[in-house]
Amino acid sequence: MAVYNNIGDTIEGEAVDFDGRLIRSQGAKKHPLTKKTMKLFTTDRNSHAVVRKAGVEPTDEEVKAATAHFHRDVDDKVTADALSVYTDLKAKVRPETIHGEGASGQHGTNFATVNNHTIATVKMPLPNLMKKLGMSNNALTTVNDAD
């Protein structure tokens, strides 16, 4: 078991739990490395994803090489302010809002369990970068906010 938090760090599992202050469904997208059509979710702030059932190494040599840096052991975890979470297209993903321990103050956190193939990667949040560059991001909106 290990915790990863650098941009690009990735976990892969046959079952994965993930959470975040916000979870956004982003539709269908081909995973950039496995080329598999999957459902994409992104999370915002205080996000985690942890392998619950170990990932299976791909048999295709090209995909195997491209995903050699993935972490696939049970309890391997990524934690960051932004994650991309690709799940199997047919996976049932139903985020629940939870309050109390692990949730911040008056806001809850959204939590989801996926019992299918899932790949989660640490991404770079943009608002801080844009601010640093003196650029505006005031067109940003938040949706699916937790209660």
Q: Which residues of this chain interact with other proteins, rule CB under 8 A?
A: 7-8, 24, 26-30, 32-33, 37, 40, 42, 44, 82, 84, 89-90, 121, 123-127, 129-130, 132-133, 135-137, 139-141, 143
Phi, psi of 65 (to 5 degrees): -70, -40
Query: Residue 39: which of 88, 77, 106, 75 has the closest Cα?
Result: 88
Nearer to other proteins among residue 47 and residue 74 (C-beta) = 47
Q: Residue 83 CB, nearest distance to other proteins (Å)?
A: 8
Nearer to other proteins among residue 32 and residue 102 (C-beta) = 32
Gap between the Cα atoms of 4 and 60, Å rounded: 26
Gap between the Cα atoms of 51 and 37, Å rounded: 20
Q: Residue 31 CB, nearest distance to other proteins (Å)?
A: 9
